[in-house]
Amino acid sequence: MKLLQLSQESDVIVIASTGFHRRIYYPSSWWLWEAGSEQIARYFIDEVLQGLEETRRLPKPVKAGLIKCACESALRDTPQKVLEAAALAAAELGVCVEVHTEKGADAEAILNFFIRNGVRPNQVVLCHMDKVPDFVLHRNLARLERSSNMTLSIGPNTLLTRMYGP
């Protein structure tokens, strides 16, 4: 609800997300780890179409505008059913999937996973790609025929600034 208040008071559009982060941020008994991919996908879809669960009692619920998911340092170590759920929901709704990578690890495999699961490349946003000083990888991920998106952190002390200059 604070996002709604912030948006209203600042007159800035804030895009909320549904989804999940890495396992370390949840208790081992969290419902997400026991649910099937279709149930998880339905949860994500409902948060986009009906509003975030915690705001559904408001006169105007806050709806998620994208799906956030997080990968471990290797794609194979990430709960596959949760990634499948994010892909199912994104493919059905046409919203973006913002993917937390661990310092850009397995970026091509992550992008290919989502493409294989029906998500268009331009719906996938790969985060923390500035942590990988690999110009060829950056170019391959961003080339027009793949049309994927990357987030790169730029600041005086980031690797990206040291790679590409100010």
Measuring CA to CA, which residue among 144, 95, 103, 153 is closest to residue 124? 95
Convert the pLDDT of each residue in 112-146 to its tens digit: 999 999 999 889 988 888 788 887 887 777 774 45
44-71: pLDDT as tens digits: 999 999 999 998 998 889 999 999 999 9
CA neighbor of 18 nearest in space, from 60, 51, 61, 59: 51
What is this structure's pTM?
Answer: 0.84
